[in-house]
Every structure is written in C-alpha cells, then in structure tokens.
C-alpha cells in the first residue's frame, strides 16, 4: 500500500508499507524544497482533497463528489518514492 493524500484539513500524508509521513501543506512545501523534489501545485480552489494510489486511483474531491484524474500521477509517484527522505525531514522537525 502506497498513497499520497492531501486531506481536507490541509494536511499532507504519504503512506507506505513502512510508515506514514504527515505534514501541514507549508511543512510539506519546505520539505520538498529541501529535498529538491518537484513543487506541489496544491489543490484547485474548487476542491478540498486529493487522493492518489499508484495502483490506479487518483481523485480530486469536494465535499459532494469525487472527480477522477489521470493515473499514473508523476508527482504522486515522486513523493511516494521519496517517502524515506520525507519521513526523515518530519522526524527532524519533530525532535
């Protein structure tokens, strides 16, 4: 199981079989900049959630409806594949 989730409470989660990275949107932006990863565009104004599972599910959601997006999603794959580095940034921040 691996997934990228921009939660409606403005938290970012990257989940893998080895653990969970979690950060605010601002912390995530700092972490991906520190790690020289591609910038995250955030959510379009009319949406409050993004869910991506490399197994084939990628959706933008508002409170009522899920809108399928293209999959694979290169940014999501990049963030998931860099989970260990993101988690190290989170652990350092929380020390």
Residue 60 has pLDDT above 90, yes or no: yes
Q: Compute the distance between CA of residue 27 and CA of residue 94 in angstroms, rounded to an integer.
A: 11
Yes or no: say if 49 and 64 are a contact pair by the CB < 8 Å rule.
no
Q: Return the percentage of the chain with pLDDT > 70, whole number.
A: 100
pLDDT category at 1 given cuts 50, 70, 90 is confident
Residue 95 has pLDDT above 90, yes or no: no
Closest Cα to residue 4, out of 48, 49, 65, 68?
49
Closest Cα to residue 50, out of 95, 5, 87, 1?
5
Determine the average pLDDT of the residues in 35-41.
96
């Amino acid at each position: 199981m691996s997934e990228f989730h921009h939660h409606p409470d403005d938290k970012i989660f990257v989940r893998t079989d080895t653990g969970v990275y979690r950060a605010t949107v601002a912390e995530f932006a700092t972490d991906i900049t520190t790690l020289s990863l591609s910038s995250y565009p955030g959510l379009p104004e009319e949406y409050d959630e993004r869910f991506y599972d490399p197994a084939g599910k990628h959706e933008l959601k508002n409170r009522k409806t899920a809108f399928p997006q293209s999959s694979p999603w290169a940014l999501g794959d990049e963030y998931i594949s860099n989970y260990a580095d993101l988690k190290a940034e989170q652990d350092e921040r929380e020390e």
